[in-house]
Chain A
Amino acid sequence: MKTAQISQNQLLLFLILYFYSTLIGFAAGHLIHLSQYDSVIVLWISGLVVWVYAYFTIKLANRRPNEFFVHYGKEIFPYWIHILVMGFYSLSFLHSSAFVLREYEDFIVQTYLSETPNWAVGGILGMVVAITARLGIKTLFRTAQGLFFLILIADLSNSIFIGKELKWDRWMAFITNHSGHGIFTGSYTVIPFLGEIFILVFIFPYLTQKSKTLKSVSWAIVLGILLITVNLVFLLLLFGPNLTNHLTYPMLEMVRYIRIADFIENLDPFLISIWSTTVYLKISIMFYLSVLILAQIFRLKDHRPLTFSLAAAMVALSLQMSGGTAALTSYYTKSWATYAYFVEGIPIVYLLMDTLKRFIKKRSAKKEEIS
Protein backbone atom coordinates (compact mmCIF):
# COMPACT_ATOMS: atom_id res chain seq x y z
CA MET A 1 0.00 0.00 0.00
CA LYS A 2 1.34 3.39 -0.95
CA THR A 3 1.14 5.40 2.20
CA ALA A 4 2.97 8.70 2.10
CA GLN A 5 0.60 10.91 0.23
CA ILE A 6 -0.29 13.94 2.28
CA SER A 7 2.18 16.76 2.45
CA GLN A 8 2.57 18.79 5.60
CA ASN A 9 1.25 21.83 3.82
CA GLN A 10 -1.94 19.98 3.01
CA LEU A 11 -2.25 18.82 6.58
CA LEU A 12 -1.87 22.37 7.85
CA LEU A 13 -4.52 23.82 5.57
CA PHE A 14 -6.84 20.93 6.21
CA LEU A 15 -6.60 21.22 9.97
CA ILE A 16 -7.38 24.93 9.87
CA LEU A 17 -10.54 24.25 7.94
CA TYR A 18 -11.27 21.35 10.20
CA PHE A 19 -11.24 23.57 13.29
CA TYR A 20 -13.01 26.37 11.57
CA SER A 21 -15.97 24.49 10.13
CA THR A 22 -18.35 23.48 12.87
CA LEU A 23 -17.01 25.59 15.68
CA ILE A 24 -17.91 28.73 13.79
CA GLY A 25 -21.12 27.52 12.30
CA PHE A 26 -22.85 25.57 14.98
CA ALA A 27 -21.04 26.05 18.26
CA ALA A 28 -20.38 29.77 18.32
CA GLY A 29 -23.72 30.61 19.93
CA HIS A 30 -23.30 28.10 22.68
CA LEU A 31 -19.74 29.12 23.39
CA ILE A 32 -20.71 32.76 23.73
CA HIS A 33 -23.60 31.73 25.91
CA LEU A 34 -21.21 29.98 28.25
CA SER A 35 -18.38 32.40 28.46
CA GLN A 36 -19.58 35.72 27.06
CA TYR A 37 -16.69 38.11 26.53
CA ASP A 38 -14.23 35.55 27.79
CA SER A 39 -14.66 33.46 24.65
CA VAL A 40 -11.40 34.74 23.28
CA ILE A 41 -9.49 33.70 26.38
CA VAL A 42 -11.31 30.40 26.34
CA LEU A 43 -10.26 29.76 22.78
CA TRP A 44 -6.61 30.38 23.47
CA ILE A 45 -6.62 28.34 26.67
CA SER A 46 -8.21 25.48 24.78
CA GLY A 47 -5.68 25.91 22.05
CA LEU A 48 -2.88 25.53 24.55
CA VAL A 49 -4.42 22.44 26.13
CA VAL A 50 -5.05 20.90 22.76
CA TRP A 51 -1.49 21.60 21.74
CA VAL A 52 -0.28 19.58 24.70
CA TYR A 53 -2.78 16.88 23.82
CA ALA A 54 -1.65 16.89 20.19
CA TYR A 55 1.94 16.57 21.36
CA PHE A 56 1.10 13.33 23.10
CA THR A 57 -0.98 11.90 20.29
CA ILE A 58 1.79 12.61 17.84
CA LYS A 59 4.17 10.98 20.25
CA LEU A 60 2.03 7.88 20.23
CA ALA A 61 1.79 7.91 16.46
CA ASN A 62 5.51 8.49 16.10
CA ARG A 63 6.32 5.31 17.97
CA ARG A 64 5.31 3.34 14.89
CA PRO A 65 5.14 5.96 12.18
CA ASN A 66 4.42 3.66 9.26
CA GLU A 67 1.78 1.47 10.78
CA PHE A 68 -1.88 2.08 11.27
CA PHE A 69 -3.23 2.47 14.77
CA VAL A 70 -5.73 -0.29 14.14
CA HIS A 71 -2.89 -2.64 13.28
CA TYR A 72 -0.35 -1.88 15.98
CA GLY A 73 -2.85 -1.28 18.76
CA LYS A 74 -3.05 -4.95 19.49
CA GLU A 75 0.56 -4.95 20.54
CA ILE A 76 -0.36 -2.53 23.28
CA PHE A 77 -3.63 -3.92 24.52
CA PRO A 78 -4.92 -7.47 24.29
CA TYR A 79 -6.35 -8.31 20.91
CA TRP A 80 -10.01 -8.43 21.84
CA ILE A 81 -10.01 -5.26 23.83
CA HIS A 82 -8.29 -3.50 21.00
CA ILE A 83 -10.75 -4.77 18.42
CA LEU A 84 -13.62 -3.66 20.62
CA VAL A 85 -12.10 -0.23 21.05
CA MET A 86 -11.54 0.07 17.33
CA GLY A 87 -15.10 -1.02 16.61
CA PHE A 88 -16.22 1.62 19.01
CA TYR A 89 -14.09 4.16 17.20
CA SER A 90 -15.55 3.21 13.87
CA LEU A 91 -19.05 3.66 15.22
CA SER A 92 -18.06 6.82 17.00
CA PHE A 93 -16.69 8.38 13.84
CA LEU A 94 -19.77 7.31 11.97
CA HIS A 95 -21.81 8.90 14.69
CA SER A 96 -19.81 12.13 14.60
CA SER A 97 -20.15 12.40 10.86
CA ALA A 98 -23.86 11.72 11.13
CA PHE A 99 -24.10 14.30 13.88
CA VAL A 100 -22.43 17.01 11.84
CA LEU A 101 -24.51 16.00 8.87
CA ARG A 102 -27.63 16.32 10.96
CA GLU A 103 -26.63 19.74 12.20
CA TYR A 104 -26.03 20.79 8.65
CA GLU A 105 -29.31 19.34 7.41
CA ASP A 106 -31.22 21.21 10.07
CA PHE A 107 -29.36 24.37 9.25
CA ILE A 108 -29.98 24.24 5.52
CA VAL A 109 -33.59 23.19 5.85
CA GLN A 110 -34.37 25.85 8.39
CA THR A 111 -32.69 28.71 6.61
CA TYR A 112 -33.05 28.07 2.91
CA LEU A 113 -34.96 25.04 1.84
CA SER A 114 -37.97 25.10 4.08
CA GLU A 115 -39.98 22.84 1.80
CA THR A 116 -37.30 20.25 1.27
CA PRO A 117 -37.32 17.26 3.61
CA ASN A 118 -34.27 16.51 5.70
CA TRP A 119 -33.60 13.23 3.99
CA ALA A 120 -33.20 14.81 0.58
CA VAL A 121 -30.50 17.16 1.81
CA GLY A 122 -28.87 14.44 3.87
CA GLY A 123 -29.08 11.94 1.06
CA ILE A 124 -27.50 14.14 -1.53
CA LEU A 125 -24.73 15.37 0.72
CA GLY A 126 -24.23 11.81 1.93
CA MET A 127 -23.70 10.71 -1.65
CA VAL A 128 -21.05 13.34 -2.19
CA VAL A 129 -19.36 12.34 1.05
CA ALA A 130 -19.45 8.69 0.02
CA ILE A 131 -17.88 9.45 -3.32
CA THR A 132 -15.19 11.55 -1.68
CA ALA A 133 -14.44 8.86 0.85
CA ARG A 134 -14.28 6.31 -1.90
CA LEU A 135 -11.72 8.34 -3.78
CA GLY A 136 -9.56 8.28 -0.70
CA ILE A 137 -7.72 10.48 1.65
CA LYS A 138 -5.42 11.97 -0.94
CA THR A 139 -8.34 13.47 -2.78
CA LEU A 140 -9.79 14.71 0.46
CA PHE A 141 -6.69 16.60 1.46
CA ARG A 142 -6.12 17.99 -1.99
CA THR A 143 -9.68 19.18 -2.01
CA ALA A 144 -9.07 20.93 1.27
CA GLN A 145 -5.98 22.54 -0.15
CA GLY A 146 -7.86 24.01 -3.05
CA LEU A 147 -10.83 25.08 -0.98
CA PHE A 148 -8.75 26.72 1.68
CA PHE A 149 -7.94 29.82 -0.32
CA LEU A 150 -11.52 30.22 -1.42
CA ILE A 151 -12.68 30.05 2.16
CA LEU A 152 -9.98 32.37 3.37
CA ILE A 153 -10.95 34.94 0.78
CA ALA A 154 -14.62 34.60 1.66
CA ASP A 155 -13.95 34.94 5.35
CA LEU A 156 -11.66 37.90 4.94
CA SER A 157 -14.03 39.76 2.66
CA ASN A 158 -16.76 39.00 5.13
CA SER A 159 -14.69 40.54 7.91
CA ILE A 160 -13.88 43.60 5.85
CA PHE A 161 -17.43 44.29 4.84
CA ILE A 162 -18.80 43.68 8.28
CA GLY A 163 -16.25 45.99 9.84
CA LYS A 164 -18.24 49.16 9.48
CA GLU A 165 -21.31 47.66 11.11
CA LEU A 166 -19.54 46.81 14.34
CA LYS A 167 -20.12 48.60 17.58
CA TRP A 168 -16.56 49.22 18.57
CA ASP A 169 -17.45 50.74 21.92
CA ARG A 170 -18.09 47.24 23.18
CA TRP A 171 -14.41 46.38 23.08
CA MET A 172 -13.93 47.53 26.65
CA ALA A 173 -15.91 44.53 27.84
CA PHE A 174 -13.20 42.18 26.61
CA ILE A 175 -10.98 43.60 29.30
CA THR A 176 -13.42 44.24 32.07
CA ASN A 177 -15.92 41.40 31.97
CA HIS A 178 -14.50 38.17 33.27
CA SER A 179 -15.93 35.19 34.99
CA GLY A 180 -13.91 32.26 36.19
CA HIS A 181 -16.73 29.83 35.92
CA GLY A 182 -17.50 31.00 32.40
CA ILE A 183 -13.92 30.42 31.36
CA PHE A 184 -13.96 26.95 32.88
CA THR A 185 -17.22 25.80 31.33
CA GLY A 186 -16.32 27.40 28.03
CA SER A 187 -12.96 25.71 27.88
CA TYR A 188 -14.53 22.46 28.92
CA THR A 189 -16.71 22.49 25.82
CA VAL A 190 -14.20 23.94 23.39
CA ILE A 191 -11.28 21.64 24.19
CA PRO A 192 -12.94 18.49 22.82
CA PHE A 193 -13.81 20.44 19.71
CA LEU A 194 -10.23 21.23 18.95
CA GLY A 195 -9.29 17.90 20.44
CA GLU A 196 -10.76 16.23 17.39
CA ILE A 197 -7.24 16.63 16.13
CA PHE A 198 -6.73 13.09 17.44
CA ILE A 199 -7.71 11.86 13.98
CA LEU A 200 -3.99 12.31 13.37
CA VAL A 201 -3.39 9.00 15.09
CA PHE A 202 -5.35 7.26 12.38
CA ILE A 203 -4.00 9.06 9.35
CA PHE A 204 -0.41 9.33 10.50
CA PRO A 205 1.01 6.73 8.08
CA TYR A 206 -0.31 8.80 5.19
CA LEU A 207 1.79 11.82 6.03
CA THR A 208 5.03 12.75 4.40
CA GLN A 209 7.88 14.33 6.37
CA LYS A 210 6.44 13.00 9.59
CA SER A 211 8.95 14.79 11.76
CA LYS A 212 7.40 18.11 10.86
CA THR A 213 3.93 17.08 11.95
CA LEU A 214 4.04 18.78 15.31
CA LYS A 215 5.12 22.00 13.69
CA SER A 216 2.26 21.91 11.21
CA VAL A 217 -0.19 21.06 13.95
CA SER A 218 1.02 23.94 16.08
CA TRP A 219 0.66 26.32 13.20
CA ALA A 220 -2.74 24.93 12.39
CA ILE A 221 -3.87 25.47 15.97
CA VAL A 222 -2.55 29.01 16.05
CA LEU A 223 -3.90 30.04 12.67
CA GLY A 224 -7.18 28.21 13.10
CA ILE A 225 -7.83 29.80 16.45
CA LEU A 226 -6.83 33.18 15.07
CA LEU A 227 -9.41 32.82 12.35
CA ILE A 228 -12.06 31.71 14.79
CA THR A 229 -11.17 34.46 17.24
CA VAL A 230 -11.61 37.14 14.62
CA ASN A 231 -15.03 35.83 13.79
CA LEU A 232 -16.06 35.49 17.42
CA VAL A 233 -14.88 38.98 18.29
CA PHE A 234 -16.85 40.33 15.38
CA LEU A 235 -19.90 38.45 16.55
CA LEU A 236 -19.57 39.89 20.02
CA LEU A 237 -18.97 43.37 18.73
CA LEU A 238 -21.90 43.16 16.40
CA PHE A 239 -24.58 41.55 18.51
CA GLY A 240 -23.27 41.50 22.05
CA PRO A 241 -23.33 38.29 24.08
CA ASN A 242 -27.01 38.24 24.91
CA LEU A 243 -28.40 38.56 21.43
CA THR A 244 -25.82 36.13 20.06
CA ASN A 245 -26.86 33.65 22.65
CA HIS A 246 -30.46 33.76 21.44
CA LEU A 247 -29.74 33.37 17.77
CA THR A 248 -29.67 29.83 16.50
CA TYR A 249 -27.04 30.53 13.88
CA PRO A 250 -25.29 33.76 14.83
CA MET A 251 -22.76 33.51 12.02
CA LEU A 252 -25.53 33.45 9.48
CA GLU A 253 -27.07 36.56 10.97
CA MET A 254 -23.72 38.25 10.86
CA VAL A 255 -23.25 37.42 7.22
CA ARG A 256 -26.70 38.75 6.52
CA TYR A 257 -25.60 42.12 7.83
CA ILE A 258 -23.35 42.65 4.87
CA ARG A 259 -24.42 45.21 2.36
CA ILE A 260 -22.17 46.17 -0.50
CA ALA A 261 -22.91 49.55 -1.93
CA ASP A 262 -26.64 48.93 -1.86
CA PHE A 263 -26.31 46.70 -4.84
CA ILE A 264 -25.93 43.25 -3.39
CA GLU A 265 -28.44 43.11 -0.64
CA ASN A 266 -27.56 39.79 0.71
CA LEU A 267 -24.54 37.68 0.15
CA ASP A 268 -25.37 35.05 2.68
CA PRO A 269 -26.38 32.13 0.44
CA PHE A 270 -23.14 32.61 -1.39
CA LEU A 271 -20.89 32.87 1.65
CA ILE A 272 -22.77 30.15 3.45
CA SER A 273 -22.30 27.79 0.56
CA ILE A 274 -18.59 28.45 0.66
CA TRP A 275 -18.56 27.81 4.38
CA SER A 276 -20.58 24.65 3.75
CA THR A 277 -17.65 23.15 1.94
CA THR A 278 -15.72 23.09 5.21
CA VAL A 279 -18.56 21.21 6.86
CA TYR A 280 -18.53 18.82 3.98
CA LEU A 281 -14.82 18.27 4.52
CA LYS A 282 -15.38 17.54 8.16
CA ILE A 283 -18.14 15.04 7.49
CA SER A 284 -15.99 13.43 4.83
CA ILE A 285 -12.94 12.93 7.03
CA MET A 286 -15.04 11.53 9.86
CA PHE A 287 -16.84 9.20 7.54
CA TYR A 288 -13.65 8.21 5.80
CA LEU A 289 -12.02 7.31 9.09
CA SER A 290 -15.01 5.28 10.11
CA VAL A 291 -14.85 3.29 6.90
CA LEU A 292 -11.08 3.00 7.02
CA ILE A 293 -11.07 1.65 10.56
CA LEU A 294 -13.80 -0.81 9.74
CA ALA A 295 -11.93 -2.03 6.68
CA GLN A 296 -8.77 -2.41 8.73
CA ILE A 297 -10.55 -4.32 11.47
CA PHE A 298 -11.71 -6.80 8.88
CA ARG A 299 -8.29 -6.70 7.26
CA LEU A 300 -9.63 -5.75 3.85
CA LYS A 301 -7.25 -4.58 1.19
CA ASP A 302 -9.02 -1.28 0.71
CA HIS A 303 -11.93 0.59 2.15
CA ARG A 304 -13.69 1.34 -1.11
CA PRO A 305 -16.35 -1.37 -1.27
CA LEU A 306 -17.68 -0.30 2.12
CA THR A 307 -18.25 3.36 1.39
CA PHE A 308 -21.63 3.33 -0.26
CA SER A 309 -23.30 0.98 2.16
CA LEU A 310 -21.95 2.81 5.19
CA ALA A 311 -22.92 6.15 3.71
CA ALA A 312 -26.52 4.99 3.68
CA ALA A 313 -26.19 4.02 7.32
CA MET A 314 -24.69 7.41 8.09
CA VAL A 315 -27.56 9.28 6.46
CA ALA A 316 -30.07 7.05 8.21
CA LEU A 317 -28.33 7.64 11.51
CA SER A 318 -28.34 11.37 10.98
CA LEU A 319 -32.07 11.33 10.35
CA GLN A 320 -32.88 8.98 13.16
CA MET A 321 -30.57 10.67 15.64
CA SER A 322 -33.02 12.96 17.32
CA GLY A 323 -36.51 14.30 17.14
CA GLY A 324 -35.61 17.86 16.39
CA THR A 325 -33.11 20.64 16.74
CA ALA A 326 -33.98 21.13 20.40
CA ALA A 327 -33.09 17.57 21.31
CA LEU A 328 -29.94 17.86 19.24
CA THR A 329 -28.87 21.02 20.99
CA SER A 330 -29.61 19.50 24.35
CA TYR A 331 -27.46 16.51 23.48
CA TYR A 332 -24.72 18.74 22.26
CA THR A 333 -24.71 21.10 25.23
CA LYS A 334 -25.39 18.62 27.97
CA SER A 335 -23.35 15.55 27.28
CA TRP A 336 -21.34 15.74 24.08
CA ALA A 337 -18.25 17.33 25.62
CA THR A 338 -17.80 14.64 28.25
CA TYR A 339 -18.36 11.93 25.71
CA ALA A 340 -15.77 13.53 23.48
CA TYR A 341 -13.27 13.57 26.36
CA PHE A 342 -13.87 9.90 26.72
CA VAL A 343 -13.32 9.25 23.00
CA GLU A 344 -10.29 11.46 22.77
CA GLY A 345 -8.82 10.11 25.97
CA ILE A 346 -8.38 6.61 24.61
CA PRO A 347 -5.21 7.34 22.60
CA ILE A 348 -3.66 8.76 25.73
CA VAL A 349 -4.46 5.55 27.56
CA TYR A 350 -2.80 3.67 24.74
CA LEU A 351 0.23 5.90 25.01
CA LEU A 352 0.45 5.33 28.77
CA MET A 353 0.08 1.61 28.36
CA ASP A 354 2.68 1.53 25.64
CA THR A 355 5.12 3.55 27.73
CA LEU A 356 4.49 1.29 30.67
CA LYS A 357 5.09 -1.82 28.60
CA ARG A 358 8.28 -0.41 27.17
CA PHE A 359 9.39 0.56 30.61
CA ILE A 360 8.77 -2.94 31.93
CA LYS A 361 10.48 -4.46 28.93
CA LYS A 362 13.48 -2.27 29.41
CA ARG A 363 13.65 -3.16 33.04
CA SER A 364 13.38 -6.86 32.40
CA ALA A 365 15.98 -6.54 29.67
CA LYS A 366 18.24 -4.77 32.10
CA LYS A 367 17.61 -7.41 34.69
CA GLU A 368 18.51 -10.07 32.20
CA GLU A 369 21.65 -8.20 31.39
CA ILE A 370 22.55 -8.02 35.01
CA SER A 371 21.73 -11.63 35.67
Chain B
Amino acid sequence: MIIIIILYFLFTVIYEWTYLKNKNRKKRTYWVVFCLMGISFSYCIVTVVFKHMPSPNDLIQFLFKPLQQKILGKVD
Protein backbone atom coordinates (compact mmCIF):
# COMPACT_ATOMS: atom_id res chain seq x y z
CA MET B 1 0.00 0.00 0.00
CA ILE B 2 2.74 2.38 1.02
CA ILE B 3 4.61 1.46 -2.13
CA ILE B 4 1.64 2.44 -4.24
CA ILE B 5 1.41 5.77 -2.47
CA ILE B 6 5.11 6.42 -2.91
CA LEU B 7 4.95 5.51 -6.58
CA TYR B 8 1.94 7.73 -7.09
CA PHE B 9 3.61 10.68 -5.44
CA LEU B 10 6.81 10.07 -7.32
CA PHE B 11 4.86 10.26 -10.53
CA THR B 12 3.09 13.39 -9.31
CA VAL B 13 6.34 15.10 -8.35
CA ILE B 14 7.86 14.45 -11.75
CA TYR B 15 4.71 15.45 -13.56
CA GLU B 16 4.18 18.69 -11.66
CA TRP B 17 7.84 19.56 -11.85
CA THR B 18 7.83 19.37 -15.63
CA TYR B 19 4.52 21.17 -15.72
CA LEU B 20 5.75 24.05 -13.59
CA LYS B 21 9.00 24.18 -15.49
CA ASN B 22 7.21 24.39 -18.82
CA LYS B 23 5.09 27.22 -17.56
CA ASN B 24 8.02 29.13 -16.06
CA ARG B 25 6.43 29.61 -12.70
CA LYS B 26 7.84 31.57 -9.81
CA LYS B 27 9.88 29.96 -7.11
CA ARG B 28 7.10 30.60 -4.61
CA THR B 29 4.75 28.43 -6.66
CA TYR B 30 7.19 25.57 -6.45
CA TRP B 31 7.33 25.97 -2.69
CA VAL B 32 3.58 26.05 -2.28
CA VAL B 33 2.96 23.14 -4.58
CA PHE B 34 5.54 20.88 -3.10
CA CYS B 35 4.77 21.78 0.50
CA LEU B 36 1.12 20.90 -0.06
CA MET B 37 2.22 17.75 -1.79
CA GLY B 38 4.36 16.88 1.20
CA ILE B 39 1.46 17.46 3.57
CA SER B 40 -0.81 15.33 1.46
CA PHE B 41 1.83 12.62 1.22
CA SER B 42 2.40 12.47 4.95
CA TYR B 43 -1.32 12.41 5.55
CA CYS B 44 -1.70 9.44 3.19
CA ILE B 45 1.11 7.57 4.90
CA VAL B 46 -0.31 8.36 8.32
CA THR B 47 -3.71 7.01 7.40
CA VAL B 48 -2.14 3.78 6.25
CA VAL B 49 0.06 3.37 9.30
CA PHE B 50 -2.41 4.39 12.01
CA LYS B 51 -5.62 2.75 11.02
CA HIS B 52 -7.75 4.17 13.82
CA MET B 53 -7.10 7.83 13.84
CA PRO B 54 -9.82 10.25 14.83
CA SER B 55 -11.35 11.55 11.63
CA PRO B 56 -12.89 14.94 10.90
CA ASN B 57 -16.24 13.22 11.08
CA ASP B 58 -15.71 12.62 14.77
CA LEU B 59 -14.96 16.26 15.30
CA ILE B 60 -18.03 17.38 13.45
CA GLN B 61 -20.09 14.85 15.31
CA PHE B 62 -18.70 16.02 18.58
CA LEU B 63 -19.55 19.62 17.80
CA PHE B 64 -22.88 19.35 16.08
CA LYS B 65 -24.57 16.22 17.31
CA PRO B 66 -25.82 17.72 20.58
CA LEU B 67 -27.02 20.78 18.71
CA GLN B 68 -28.97 18.81 16.17
CA GLN B 69 -30.48 16.68 18.89
CA LYS B 70 -31.63 19.77 20.66
CA ILE B 71 -33.21 21.18 17.51
CA LEU B 72 -34.87 18.08 16.22
CA GLY B 73 -35.53 16.29 19.41
CA LYS B 74 -34.27 12.80 19.96
CA VAL B 75 -34.46 10.87 16.70
CA ASP B 76 -33.83 7.20 17.04
Contacts and interface: CB of A to CB of B under 8 A. Distances in A.
In the complex they form, do A and B come into direct contact, defined as C-beta atoms under 8 angstroms apart? yes
A34 B19 contact: no
B35 to A, nearest CB: 9
Interface size bucket, B side? Answer: 35 or more
Interface stretch (A56-64, A275-283, A307-315): A307-315
Contacts, number: 103
Contacts of A188: 71-72
Nearest to B37: A309
A126 to B, nearest CB: 10
A335 interface: yes
Contact of A339 (B1, B23, B64, B73): B64
Interface string B1-42: 100110011001001100110010100010011001101110
A292 to B, nearest CB: 13
Contact of B57 (A294, A304, A321): A321
A301 B20 CA distance: 11
Contacts of A300: 29, 32-33
A301 B28 CA distance: 11
B47 A320 contact: yes
Given A34-B75, A312-B44, A338-B68, A95 B56 contact: yes
Interface in A276-331: 294, 298, 300-301, 304-306, 308-310, 312-313, 316-317, 319-323, 327-328, 330-331
B68 A313 contact: no
B36 A335 contact: no
Instruction: Identify whether the interface residues of A are mostly helix, strand, loop, or mixed.
Output: helix
A331 B15 contact: no
A71 interface: no
B45 to A, nearest CB: 9
A334 interface: yes
Contacts of B48: 316
A157 interface: no
Contact of B8 (A312, A319, A334, A335): A312
20 contacts: A99-B57, A123-B4, A304-B19, A305-B29, A305-B33, A309-B9, A309-B16, A309-B33, A309-B40, A310-B36, A312-B9, A312-B41, A312-B44, A313-B44, A316-B43, A331-B60, A333-B75, A337-B68, A338-B71, A339-B60
Interface of A: 34, 91, 95, 99, 119, 123, 181, 184-185, 188, 294, 298, 300-301, 304-306, 308-310, 312-313, 316-317, 319-323, 327-328, 330-331, 333-339, 342
Given A301-B29, A309-B16, 4 more contacts: A188-B71, A294-B36, A300-B29, A321-B55
